[in-house]
Amino acid sequence: MSRQRNVLEAQLTVQQRKAAQLLVANEWGELLSEDGRKKSMQELAEEIGIARSTLYEWKAQEHFIDYVNYLTDINLRGMQSEVNVALMKAIRGGNNGLPSVKAIDLYMRRWALLSDRTIVEDRREDNASNRKTDEEIRRDIAELNDLVDGEPA
| Model pLDDT, residue 38 | 93
Domain that holds residue 53: 3-78
Q: Which of 78, 95, 125 is the last residue of a domain?
A: 78
The rounded distance, in Å, linking the Cα atoms of 92 and 98 is 7
Same domain, 96 and 41: no
Is residue 37 included in any domain, yes or no? yes
Whether residues 43 and 106 share a domain: the answer is no
The answer to whether residue 103 is domain-embedded is: yes
In a domain, 87, yes or no: yes
pLDDT at 49 over 60: yes
| Within a domain: 85 | yes
Q: Average pLDDT of the chain?
A: 89
* Same domain, residue pair 49 and 85: no
Q: What is the CATH number of the domain that holds 59?
A: 1.10.10
Per-residue pLDDT reduced to its tens digit, 5-47: 999 999 999 999 999 999 999 998 887 878 889 999 999 999 9
Q: How many other CB atoms are there within 10 angstroms of residue 68's CB atom? A: 20
What DSSP designation does 129 have?
G
Residue 153 has pLDDT above 60, yes or no: no
Is 115 among the domain residues?
Answer: no
Residue 42 lies in a domain: yes
Picking from 54, 78, 102, the residue at the C-terminal end of a domain is 78
19 and 54 co-located in one domain: yes
Position 125 scores a pLDDT of 59
Do 94 and 71 fall into the same domain? no
Distance CA 147, CA 120 (A): 33
Radius of gyration of the chain (CA): 31
Predicted confidence (pLDDT) at residue 92 exceeds the cutoff of 70? yes
149 confidence band (pLDDT: 50, 70, 90): confident
Q: What is the number of domains present in the chain?
A: 2
Q: For the whole model, what pTM was predicted? A: 0.60
**Distances 72 to 29, 30, 151 between C-alpha atoms, Å:** 13, 13, 70
Neighbours of 26 (CB within 10 A): 19
Question: Is there a single domain that holds both residue 59 and residue 73?
Answer: yes
